[in-house]
């Protein structure tokens, strides 16, 4: 591994430790919720990264449709996969918070329901890609589907206003509804989660690129060896 890669991973590790310190030690408990509020730092940060990941999938899918370059499609695919993991995390952390504050693991609140729909939509995106054997066709179909599925993101964001559910609205047009230390902790969590997303997106895309190149080269080597054997045989 190169030196700059280690530096990047070390920085990420330091960010995780600082984030853990900020979430559980530096940040105070909330007046009514107490320590349960600390789940919010993971929950909201995961939600922001999940929405970013799906937004990136939609955008890169469109770029792929225009440019037809394989790398855009791979980035879109990996981003969607990371987005699904983060959405799973959003749903799990939200359920734990809900059990402590609402006294229920799940309720069909508009924000929760639309988030669950988003999870299913991108799970279907992954399954759809896997079900199409032709790589180019899979990329085209997934690009269009990924863009349409992203429509759910602004719906989730607006669901609190449109349908007046019970889900708290932490970030509004007026800013953050919390004290400065909690805002700083939340923003730091965003930063670490986004860093993690970027690093995983980059490594996974590079791996997909190398895997493809390796399979092409193996095919080339096999053909070259077959020709060599033919020549030696004759």
Where does this chain bind another protein (CB under 8 A)?
A: 1, 5, 9, 12-13, 16-17, 19-20, 23-24, 34-36, 38-39, 42, 100, 196, 199-200, 203-204, 206-207, 210-211, 213-214, 217-218, 220-221, 224-225, 228
Give min distance, CB of 150 to another protein, in A. Answer: 25
Question: Least distance from C-beta 154 to another protein, angstroms?
Answer: 28
Question: Minimum CB separation from another protein for residue 218, in Å?
Answer: 6
Nearer to another protein, 155 or 196 (CB): 196
Give the angle 165-168-99 at the CA atoms, nearest 5°: 90
* Sign, CA torsion 122/126/131/134: positive
Tracing tokens 């984030």 back to the chain, one arrives at 19
Pick 97 or 145: Cβ nearer another protein:
97
Specify whether the backbone of 64 is left (phi greater than 0), alpha (psi in -120 to 50) or beta: alpha
State the Cα–Cα distance between residues 86 and 47, nearest whole angstrom: 7
Please report how close the Cβ of residue 7 comes to another protein at its closest, in angstroms. 12
Q: Which is nearer to another protein, 61 or 94 (CB)?
A: 94
Are 170 and 44 contacting, i.e. CB atoms less than 8 angstroms apart? yes
The residues, ordered by sequence, that sit 6+ positions from 157 with a Cβ below 8 Å of its Cβ are 51
Cβ closer to another protein: 100 or 126? 100
């Amino acid at each position: 591994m190169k030196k700059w890669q280690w530096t990047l991973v070390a920085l990420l590790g330091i960010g995780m430790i600082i984030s853990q310190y900020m979430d559980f030690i530096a940040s105070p408990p909330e007046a009514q919720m107490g320590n349960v509020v600390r789940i919010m730092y993971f929950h909201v940060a995961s939600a922001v990264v999940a929405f970013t990941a799906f937004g990136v999938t939609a955008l890169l899918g469109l770029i792929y449709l225009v440019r037809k370059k394989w790398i855009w499609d791979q980035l879109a695919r990996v981003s969607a996969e990371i987005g699904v993991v983060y959405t799973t995390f959003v749903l799990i952390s939200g359920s734990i918070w809900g059990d402590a504050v609402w006294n229920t693991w799940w309720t069909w609140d508009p924000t929760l329901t639309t988030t669950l729909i988003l999870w299913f939509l991108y799970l279907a995106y992954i399954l759809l890609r896997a079900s199409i054997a032709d790589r180019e066709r899979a990329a085209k179909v997934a690009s269009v589907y990924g863009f349409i599925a992203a429509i759910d993101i602004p719906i989730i964001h607006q669901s609190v206003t449109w349908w007046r559910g019970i889900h708290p609205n932490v970030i509004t047009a007026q800013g953050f509804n919390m004290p400065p230390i909690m805002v700083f902790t939340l923003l730091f969590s965003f930063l670490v989660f986004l860093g993690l997303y970027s690093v995983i997106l980059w490594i996974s895309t590079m791996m997909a690129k190398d895997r493809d190149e390796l399979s092409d080269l193996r095919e080339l080597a096999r053909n070259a060896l077959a020709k060599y054997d033919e020549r030696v045989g004759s």
